Amino acid sequence: MELTRRSLLALTGAMAVSGSTAKAEAQAQGSIATRAALFRGVGQPLSVETIQLDPPGPTEVQVRMEAVGLCHTDLHVLRGERQVGMQPMVLGHEGSGVVEVVGPQVRGIVPGDHVALTWLPACGVCRWCRGGLHHRCAESGRILRGPQFDGTYRRRDSSGRDVGSMCLVGAFAERTVVDQTSVVVVDRSLPFEVVALAACSVPGGVGAVTNAARVQKGDSVVVIGVGGDGMNVVQGARLAGAKVIIAVDLQAWKLDAARTFGATHGIQAGPGVDLPARVRELTEGIGADHAFACIDPAATLLDASRSTAIGGTVVMTGLTPESVATTPISPSELLRGHKTLIGSLYGSASQRTGVPEMLRLYQRGSLKLRELVSRTYRLDEVNQGYADLTAGKNLRGVVRLS
Ligand SMILES: [Zn+2]
Ligand SMILES: [Zn+2]
Protein backbone atom coordinates (compact mmCIF):
# COMPACT_ATOMS: atom_id res chain seq x y z
CA MET A 1 0.00 0.00 0.00
CA GLU A 2 2.74 2.43 1.04
CA LEU A 3 4.88 1.51 -1.97
CA THR A 4 1.88 1.93 -4.20
CA ARG A 5 1.12 5.33 -2.79
CA ARG A 6 4.72 6.47 -3.13
CA SER A 7 4.93 5.29 -6.71
CA LEU A 8 1.62 6.96 -7.42
CA LEU A 9 2.89 10.29 -6.15
CA ALA A 10 6.17 9.87 -7.98
CA LEU A 11 4.44 9.16 -11.24
CA THR A 12 2.01 12.01 -10.94
CA GLY A 13 4.34 14.57 -9.47
CA ALA A 14 1.88 17.42 -9.71
CA MET A 15 -0.53 15.62 -7.45
CA ALA A 16 1.94 15.70 -4.61
CA VAL A 17 1.92 19.47 -4.54
CA SER A 18 -1.57 20.00 -5.82
CA GLY A 19 -2.99 20.51 -2.34
CA SER A 20 -1.45 23.91 -1.86
CA THR A 21 -1.46 24.65 -5.59
CA ALA A 22 -5.15 23.96 -5.95
CA LYS A 23 -5.99 26.00 -2.86
CA ALA A 24 -3.99 28.92 -4.17
CA GLU A 25 -5.58 28.63 -7.61
CA ALA A 26 -8.99 28.52 -6.01
CA GLN A 27 -8.40 31.75 -4.17
CA ALA A 28 -6.95 33.33 -7.30
CA GLN A 29 -9.70 32.25 -9.70
CA GLY A 30 -12.56 32.21 -7.25
CA SER A 31 -14.88 29.43 -6.29
CA ILE A 32 -18.51 29.02 -7.30
CA ALA A 33 -21.62 28.52 -5.20
CA THR A 34 -23.49 25.26 -5.63
CA ARG A 35 -26.31 23.49 -3.82
CA ALA A 36 -25.55 20.10 -2.32
CA ALA A 37 -27.04 17.55 0.08
CA LEU A 38 -24.79 17.28 3.15
CA PHE A 39 -24.46 14.54 5.73
CA ARG A 40 -24.12 16.40 9.02
CA GLY A 41 -24.61 13.64 11.54
CA VAL A 42 -26.01 10.16 12.14
CA GLY A 43 -29.79 10.11 12.37
CA GLN A 44 -30.17 13.57 10.83
CA PRO A 45 -31.77 14.09 7.43
CA LEU A 46 -29.51 15.24 4.60
CA SER A 47 -29.13 19.02 4.72
CA VAL A 48 -29.52 20.74 1.34
CA GLU A 49 -27.28 23.83 1.51
CA THR A 50 -25.36 26.23 -0.68
CA ILE A 51 -21.63 25.48 -0.46
CA GLN A 52 -18.54 26.92 -2.14
CA LEU A 53 -16.87 24.73 -4.76
CA ASP A 54 -13.29 25.42 -5.82
CA PRO A 55 -12.13 25.02 -9.43
CA PRO A 56 -10.63 21.65 -10.42
CA GLY A 57 -7.01 20.88 -9.59
CA PRO A 58 -4.56 19.72 -12.31
CA THR A 59 -5.95 16.19 -12.60
CA GLU A 60 -9.57 17.03 -11.80
CA VAL A 61 -12.76 17.85 -13.69
CA GLN A 62 -15.79 19.95 -12.80
CA VAL A 63 -19.07 18.21 -13.59
CA ARG A 64 -22.58 19.67 -13.79
CA MET A 65 -24.62 16.85 -12.27
CA GLU A 66 -27.72 15.61 -14.05
CA ALA A 67 -28.92 12.42 -12.33
CA VAL A 68 -28.01 10.56 -9.14
CA GLY A 69 -29.40 7.22 -7.99
CA LEU A 70 -30.66 6.72 -4.44
CA CYS A 71 -28.65 3.70 -3.32
CA HIS A 72 -28.57 1.84 0.00
CA THR A 73 -24.91 2.63 0.69
CA ASP A 74 -25.62 6.30 1.46
CA LEU A 75 -28.50 5.16 3.67
CA HIS A 76 -26.06 3.04 5.68
CA VAL A 77 -24.04 6.22 6.26
CA LEU A 78 -27.11 8.23 7.33
CA ARG A 79 -28.05 5.51 9.82
CA GLY A 80 -24.52 5.21 11.22
CA GLU A 81 -24.21 1.65 9.97
CA ARG A 82 -21.15 2.60 7.97
CA GLN A 83 -18.65 5.14 9.27
CA VAL A 84 -17.32 7.93 7.10
CA GLY A 85 -14.19 9.90 7.86
CA MET A 86 -15.75 13.29 8.39
CA GLN A 87 -18.79 15.51 8.35
CA PRO A 88 -20.09 17.53 6.71
CA MET A 89 -19.86 15.41 3.60
CA VAL A 90 -21.75 15.58 0.30
CA LEU A 91 -23.30 12.13 -0.16
CA GLY A 92 -24.31 10.46 -3.44
CA HIS A 93 -22.15 8.07 -5.43
CA GLU A 94 -24.24 6.83 -8.39
CA GLY A 95 -24.21 9.84 -10.69
CA SER A 96 -24.00 11.19 -14.21
CA GLY A 97 -23.46 14.65 -15.63
CA VAL A 98 -21.70 16.90 -18.12
CA VAL A 99 -18.07 17.99 -17.87
CA GLU A 100 -17.70 21.77 -17.69
CA VAL A 101 -14.02 22.37 -16.85
CA VAL A 102 -10.93 20.13 -16.94
CA GLY A 103 -7.55 20.57 -15.22
CA PRO A 104 -4.38 20.90 -17.35
CA GLN A 105 -3.19 17.33 -16.69
CA VAL A 106 -6.50 15.64 -17.48
CA ARG A 107 -6.30 13.19 -20.40
CA GLY A 108 -9.17 11.82 -22.46
CA ILE A 109 -11.91 14.00 -20.97
CA VAL A 110 -13.02 17.32 -22.49
CA PRO A 111 -15.67 19.91 -21.61
CA GLY A 112 -19.05 18.81 -22.95
CA ASP A 113 -18.36 15.11 -22.37
CA HIS A 114 -21.18 13.17 -20.74
CA VAL A 115 -19.80 11.10 -17.89
CA ALA A 116 -20.60 8.46 -15.31
CA LEU A 117 -18.94 8.97 -11.94
CA THR A 118 -17.63 5.75 -10.42
CA TRP A 119 -17.72 5.16 -6.67
CA LEU A 120 -14.32 3.52 -6.81
CA PRO A 121 -11.38 5.40 -8.29
CA ALA A 122 -9.07 3.71 -10.77
CA CYS A 123 -5.63 5.12 -9.92
CA GLY A 124 -4.10 3.45 -12.98
CA VAL A 125 -0.77 2.66 -11.32
CA CYS A 126 -1.42 0.14 -8.54
CA ARG A 127 -0.92 -3.58 -9.12
CA TRP A 128 -4.63 -4.14 -9.74
CA CYS A 129 -5.18 -1.21 -12.08
CA ARG A 130 -2.11 -2.18 -14.10
CA GLY A 131 -3.71 -5.60 -14.53
CA GLY A 132 -7.00 -4.09 -15.66
CA LEU A 133 -8.72 -5.00 -12.37
CA HIS A 134 -9.74 -1.44 -11.51
CA HIS A 135 -12.53 -2.63 -9.20
CA ARG A 136 -9.77 -3.81 -6.84
CA CYS A 137 -7.84 -0.50 -6.96
CA ALA A 138 -5.46 -0.21 -4.01
CA GLU A 139 -6.73 3.32 -3.38
CA SER A 140 -10.25 2.09 -2.63
CA GLY A 141 -9.64 2.45 1.10
CA ARG A 142 -9.99 6.22 0.77
CA ILE A 143 -13.50 6.41 -0.62
CA LEU A 144 -15.24 7.07 2.70
CA ARG A 145 -12.67 9.47 4.16
CA GLY A 146 -13.84 12.75 2.66
CA PRO A 147 -10.98 14.62 0.97
CA GLN A 148 -10.28 14.59 -2.76
CA PHE A 149 -8.06 11.96 -4.37
CA ASP A 150 -5.04 14.23 -3.75
CA GLY A 151 -5.89 14.59 -0.06
CA THR A 152 -7.11 18.22 -0.13
CA TYR A 153 -10.59 19.78 -0.24
CA ARG A 154 -12.62 21.60 -2.90
CA ARG A 155 -15.76 22.33 -0.87
CA ARG A 156 -16.59 24.61 2.06
CA ASP A 157 -19.83 25.26 3.89
CA SER A 158 -21.11 28.74 4.81
CA SER A 159 -18.98 28.78 7.97
CA GLY A 160 -15.81 28.07 5.97
CA ARG A 161 -15.52 24.48 7.15
CA ASP A 162 -14.10 21.87 4.74
CA VAL A 163 -16.76 19.61 3.25
CA GLY A 164 -15.92 16.07 2.14
CA SER A 165 -17.32 14.04 -0.75
CA MET A 166 -18.75 10.52 -0.54
CA CYS A 167 -16.75 7.98 -2.57
CA LEU A 168 -14.54 10.81 -3.93
CA VAL A 169 -17.63 11.84 -5.92
CA GLY A 170 -20.15 13.80 -3.78
CA ALA A 171 -22.86 13.43 -6.41
CA PHE A 172 -25.88 14.95 -4.62
CA ALA A 173 -24.97 18.44 -5.83
CA GLU A 174 -25.64 20.76 -8.72
CA ARG A 175 -21.91 20.71 -9.44
CA THR A 176 -19.01 18.60 -8.24
CA VAL A 177 -15.25 18.44 -8.73
CA VAL A 178 -13.73 14.97 -8.97
CA ASP A 179 -10.41 13.46 -9.97
CA GLN A 180 -10.22 11.98 -13.47
CA THR A 181 -9.72 8.57 -11.83
CA SER A 182 -13.45 8.62 -10.92
CA VAL A 183 -14.73 9.48 -14.41
CA VAL A 184 -15.91 7.29 -17.31
CA VAL A 185 -16.89 9.11 -20.52
CA VAL A 186 -20.10 7.80 -22.09
CA ASP A 187 -22.09 8.18 -25.31
CA ARG A 188 -23.86 11.57 -25.39
CA SER A 189 -27.10 10.10 -26.69
CA LEU A 190 -27.77 8.13 -23.49
CA PRO A 191 -30.40 9.31 -20.95
CA PHE A 192 -28.70 10.66 -17.82
CA GLU A 193 -30.70 8.52 -15.38
CA VAL A 194 -29.63 5.41 -17.31
CA VAL A 195 -25.96 6.49 -17.11
CA ALA A 196 -26.33 7.12 -13.36
CA LEU A 197 -27.62 3.60 -12.72
CA ALA A 198 -24.93 2.16 -14.97
CA ALA A 199 -22.40 3.73 -12.59
CA CYS A 200 -23.29 1.40 -9.71
CA SER A 201 -26.26 -0.95 -9.45
CA VAL A 202 -26.34 -2.23 -13.03
CA PRO A 203 -22.77 -3.52 -13.33
CA GLY A 204 -23.00 -4.59 -9.67
CA GLY A 205 -25.98 -6.84 -10.40
CA VAL A 206 -25.26 -8.03 -13.93
CA GLY A 207 -21.56 -8.58 -13.18
CA ALA A 208 -22.38 -10.64 -10.08
CA VAL A 209 -24.11 -13.08 -12.44
CA THR A 210 -21.65 -13.15 -15.31
CA ASN A 211 -18.30 -12.54 -13.59
CA ALA A 212 -18.75 -13.78 -10.01
CA ALA A 213 -21.17 -16.72 -10.25
CA ARG A 214 -20.50 -17.34 -13.97
CA VAL A 215 -24.08 -18.47 -14.50
CA GLN A 216 -24.41 -20.81 -17.50
CA LYS A 217 -27.25 -21.49 -19.92
CA GLY A 218 -29.86 -23.70 -18.28
CA ASP A 219 -28.79 -22.94 -14.68
CA SER A 220 -31.22 -22.15 -11.87
CA VAL A 221 -30.89 -18.94 -9.89
CA VAL A 222 -32.53 -17.49 -6.77
CA VAL A 223 -32.29 -13.74 -6.11
CA ILE A 224 -33.08 -12.50 -2.59
CA GLY A 225 -34.08 -8.84 -2.62
CA VAL A 226 -35.18 -7.51 -6.02
CA GLY A 227 -34.56 -3.79 -5.64
CA GLY A 228 -31.95 -1.83 -7.60
CA ASP A 229 -29.19 -4.47 -7.32
CA GLY A 230 -31.34 -7.58 -7.34
CA MET A 231 -33.39 -6.59 -10.38
CA ASN A 232 -30.13 -6.33 -12.31
CA VAL A 233 -29.16 -9.80 -11.09
CA VAL A 234 -32.52 -11.01 -12.46
CA GLN A 235 -31.92 -9.48 -15.88
CA GLY A 236 -28.29 -10.59 -15.86
CA ALA A 237 -29.47 -14.16 -15.23
CA ARG A 238 -31.93 -13.86 -18.11
CA LEU A 239 -29.11 -12.65 -20.37
CA ALA A 240 -26.93 -15.57 -19.25
CA GLY A 241 -29.65 -18.02 -20.28
CA ALA A 242 -30.69 -19.23 -16.81
CA LYS A 243 -33.72 -21.51 -17.09
CA VAL A 244 -35.19 -20.94 -13.64
CA ILE A 245 -34.96 -17.44 -12.10
CA ILE A 246 -36.65 -17.17 -8.71
CA ALA A 247 -37.17 -13.66 -7.32
CA VAL A 248 -37.62 -13.31 -3.55
CA ASP A 249 -38.81 -10.13 -1.84
CA LEU A 250 -41.00 -8.89 0.98
CA GLN A 251 -43.00 -6.77 -1.49
CA ALA A 252 -45.44 -8.56 -3.80
CA TRP A 253 -45.32 -5.73 -6.37
CA LYS A 254 -41.56 -6.17 -6.76
CA LEU A 255 -42.11 -9.86 -7.57
CA ASP A 256 -44.55 -8.82 -10.31
CA ALA A 257 -42.01 -6.31 -11.60
CA ALA A 258 -39.28 -8.99 -11.50
CA ARG A 259 -41.28 -11.10 -13.96
CA THR A 260 -41.06 -8.27 -16.49
CA PHE A 261 -37.25 -8.31 -16.04
CA GLY A 262 -37.01 -12.08 -16.61
CA ALA A 263 -37.93 -13.87 -13.36
CA THR A 264 -39.74 -17.14 -13.94
CA HIS A 265 -41.02 -17.48 -10.35
CA GLY A 266 -41.63 -15.26 -7.33
CA ILE A 267 -41.61 -16.08 -3.63
CA GLN A 268 -42.91 -13.51 -1.15
CA ALA A 269 -40.62 -13.64 1.87
CA GLY A 270 -41.96 -13.18 5.37
CA PRO A 271 -42.42 -14.84 8.75
CA GLY A 272 -43.04 -18.56 8.47
CA VAL A 273 -41.83 -18.84 4.87
CA ASP A 274 -39.31 -21.71 4.52
CA LEU A 275 -37.36 -20.27 1.62
CA PRO A 276 -34.96 -23.21 1.01
CA ALA A 277 -37.91 -25.61 0.93
CA ARG A 278 -39.83 -23.38 -1.50
CA VAL A 279 -36.78 -23.10 -3.75
CA ARG A 280 -36.30 -26.88 -3.76
CA GLU A 281 -39.94 -27.28 -4.87
CA LEU A 282 -39.14 -25.16 -7.92
CA THR A 283 -35.80 -26.86 -8.70
CA GLU A 284 -36.61 -30.56 -8.94
CA GLY A 285 -35.98 -31.03 -5.23
CA ILE A 286 -32.26 -30.19 -5.28
CA GLY A 287 -31.99 -26.41 -4.84
CA ALA A 288 -30.71 -23.67 -7.13
CA ASP A 289 -27.30 -23.64 -8.80
CA HIS A 290 -26.73 -20.05 -7.65
CA ALA A 291 -28.17 -17.84 -4.91
CA PHE A 292 -27.66 -14.07 -4.65
CA ALA A 293 -28.04 -12.22 -1.34
CA CYS A 294 -28.78 -8.71 -2.62
CA ILE A 295 -30.22 -7.24 0.56
CA ASP A 296 -29.20 -7.44 4.22
CA PRO A 297 -26.77 -10.38 3.96
CA ALA A 298 -26.81 -10.84 7.73
CA ALA A 299 -30.49 -11.82 7.46
CA THR A 300 -30.50 -13.51 4.05
CA LEU A 301 -27.15 -15.27 3.59
CA LEU A 302 -28.04 -18.48 5.45
CA ASP A 303 -31.28 -18.93 3.50
CA ALA A 304 -29.37 -18.14 0.31
CA SER A 305 -26.83 -20.86 1.05
CA ARG A 306 -29.45 -23.42 2.05
CA SER A 307 -31.42 -22.66 -1.11
CA THR A 308 -28.54 -23.87 -3.29
CA ALA A 309 -27.88 -27.39 -4.49
CA ILE A 310 -24.72 -29.32 -3.66
CA GLY A 311 -21.86 -27.49 -5.34
CA GLY A 312 -23.90 -24.28 -5.40
CA THR A 313 -22.57 -20.75 -5.57
CA VAL A 314 -23.64 -18.12 -3.02
CA VAL A 315 -22.95 -14.52 -4.04
CA MET A 316 -23.24 -11.56 -1.71
CA THR A 317 -23.73 -8.15 -3.36
CA GLY A 318 -25.34 -6.19 -0.53
CA LEU A 319 -23.52 -4.39 2.28
CA THR A 320 -24.02 -5.16 5.93
CA PRO A 321 -23.75 -2.68 8.80
CA GLU A 322 -20.19 -2.59 10.16
CA SER A 323 -21.51 -4.01 13.44
CA VAL A 324 -22.16 -7.34 11.70
CA ALA A 325 -18.86 -9.16 12.04
CA THR A 326 -19.66 -12.79 11.17
CA THR A 327 -21.51 -14.73 8.49
CA PRO A 328 -24.25 -17.11 9.63
CA ILE A 329 -23.16 -20.01 7.37
CA SER A 330 -21.30 -22.72 9.25
CA PRO A 331 -17.98 -23.89 7.79
CA SER A 332 -19.15 -27.50 7.79
CA GLU A 333 -22.21 -26.57 5.70
CA LEU A 334 -19.92 -24.91 3.21
CA LEU A 335 -17.54 -27.88 3.18
CA ARG A 336 -20.08 -30.68 3.08
CA GLY A 337 -22.18 -28.83 0.53
CA HIS A 338 -19.16 -28.17 -1.75
CA LYS A 339 -20.35 -24.57 -1.80
CA THR A 340 -18.59 -21.44 -3.01
CA LEU A 341 -19.21 -18.18 -1.16
CA ILE A 342 -18.32 -15.05 -3.15
CA GLY A 343 -18.32 -11.38 -2.18
CA SER A 344 -18.96 -9.42 -5.37
CA LEU A 345 -18.29 -5.68 -5.55
CA TYR A 346 -18.91 -3.65 -8.70
CA GLY A 347 -19.82 -6.85 -10.53
CA SER A 348 -16.33 -8.34 -10.00
CA ALA A 349 -14.95 -6.56 -13.07
CA SER A 350 -13.29 -3.27 -13.96
CA GLN A 351 -15.69 -0.37 -13.70
CA ARG A 352 -13.86 1.25 -16.62
CA THR A 353 -14.96 -1.54 -18.94
CA GLY A 354 -18.06 -2.65 -17.02
CA VAL A 355 -19.90 0.69 -17.09
CA PRO A 356 -19.60 1.14 -20.90
CA GLU A 357 -20.47 -2.52 -21.42
CA MET A 358 -23.74 -2.12 -19.49
CA LEU A 359 -24.60 0.93 -21.58
CA ARG A 360 -23.92 -0.98 -24.81
CA LEU A 361 -26.25 -3.75 -23.62
CA TYR A 362 -28.89 -1.09 -22.92
CA GLN A 363 -28.46 0.44 -26.38
CA ARG A 364 -28.87 -3.00 -27.96
CA GLY A 365 -32.11 -3.50 -26.04
CA SER A 366 -30.65 -6.34 -23.92
CA LEU A 367 -31.02 -4.54 -20.57
CA LYS A 368 -34.04 -2.64 -19.25
CA LEU A 369 -32.65 0.36 -17.42
CA ARG A 370 -35.24 3.12 -17.78
CA GLU A 371 -37.81 0.71 -16.32
CA LEU A 372 -35.72 0.53 -13.13
CA VAL A 373 -36.47 4.18 -12.35
CA SER A 374 -39.67 4.20 -10.31
CA ARG A 375 -39.63 7.90 -9.42
CA THR A 376 -37.51 11.01 -9.81
CA TYR A 377 -36.93 13.65 -7.12
CA ARG A 378 -35.58 17.18 -6.96
CA LEU A 379 -32.44 17.71 -4.87
CA ASP A 380 -34.48 19.20 -2.01
CA GLU A 381 -36.66 16.07 -2.04
CA VAL A 382 -33.68 13.77 -1.42
CA ASN A 383 -34.86 12.82 2.09
CA GLN A 384 -38.27 11.85 0.71
CA GLY A 385 -36.41 9.66 -1.77
CA TYR A 386 -34.63 7.83 1.06
CA ALA A 387 -37.90 7.49 2.99
CA ASP A 388 -39.46 5.87 -0.10
CA LEU A 389 -36.41 3.59 -0.49
CA THR A 390 -36.75 2.51 3.14
CA ALA A 391 -40.49 1.89 2.68
CA GLY A 392 -39.80 -0.34 -0.34
CA LYS A 393 -41.71 1.92 -2.73
CA ASN A 394 -39.09 2.15 -5.49
CA LEU A 395 -36.99 -0.13 -7.63
CA ARG A 396 -34.72 2.88 -7.97
CA GLY A 397 -35.37 6.49 -7.11
CA VAL A 398 -33.29 9.06 -8.98
CA VAL A 399 -32.55 12.68 -8.08
CA ARG A 400 -32.64 14.87 -11.20
CA LEU A 401 -30.61 18.05 -11.00
CA SER A 402 -31.98 19.78 -14.09
ZN1 LIG B 1 -24.79 2.52 -5.36
ZN1 LIG C 1 -5.40 1.45 -8.65
Alpha carbon of 349 to ligand 2 centroid (Å)? 13
Sequence-separated (6 or more) residues with CB below 8 Å from residue 254: 226, 227, 231, 247, 392, 395
Alpha carbon of 75 to ligand 2 centroid (Å)? 26
d(CA 172, CA 196): 12
Which ligand has the shortest distance to the CA of 229?
1
Alpha carbon of 132 to ligand 2 centroid (Å)? 9
Alpha carbon of 230 to ligand 2 centroid (Å)? 27
d(CA 3, CA 205): 33
Alpha carbon of 349 to ligand 1 centroid (Å)? 15
Look at residue 345 in the predicted model and tell me its pLDDT: 94
Which ligand has the shortest distance to the CA of 398?
1
Give yes or no for a contact between 94 and 68, defined as CB atoms under 8 angstroms apart: yes
Q: Would you give the end-to-end CA distance of the chain in angstroms?
A: 40
The residue type of 104 is: P
In degrees rounded to 5, what are phi and psi of residue 222? -120, 135
Alpha carbon of 3 to ligand 2 centroid (Å)? 12
3-state helix, strand, coil in the chain (%, to 5): 35, 25, 40
Helix ranges (H only) for 133-227 are 192-198, 201-207
Q: Which of 130, 138, 103, 133 is nearest to 6 (CA)?
A: 138
Domain ranges of the chain: 2-199+369-400, 205-345
CATH architecture, domain defined by 205-345: 3-Layer(aba) Sandwich (3.40)
What is the homologous superfamily of the domain 2-199+369-400 according to CATH? Medium-chain alcohol dehydrogenases, catalytic domain (3.90.180.10)
Helix ranges (H only) for 187-261 are 192-198, 201-207, 228-240, 252-261
Alpha carbon of 13 to ligand 1 centroid (Å)? 32
Sequence-separated (6 or more) residues with CB below 8 Å from residue 271: none
Alpha carbon of 77 to ligand 1 centroid (Å)? 12
Q: What is the mean pLDDT of each run of 10 residues along the chain (402 residues)?
A: 38 40 53 98 97 98 98 93 96 97 98 98 96 96 96 97 98 98 98 97 97 98 95 98 98 97 97 97 98 94 97 92 86 95 96 97 97 97 96 94 92
Give yes or no for a contact between 89 and 38, defined as CB atoms under 8 angstroms apart: yes
Look at residue 291 in the predicted model and tell me its pLDDT: 98
Look at residue 150 in the predicted model and tell me its pLDDT: 96
Give yes or no for a contact between 208 and 79, defined as CB atoms under 8 angstroms apart: no
Which ligand has the shortest distance to the CA of 93?
1
Alpha carbon of 363 to ligand 2 centroid (Å)? 29
Alpha carbon of 71 to ligand 1 centroid (Å)? 5
Alpha carbon of 130 to ligand 2 centroid (Å)? 7
Q: Which of 335, 332, 331, 348 is nearest to 292 (CA)?
A: 348
Neighbours of ion ligand 2 (CB under 5 A): 123, 126, 129, 137
d(CA 117, CA 355): 10
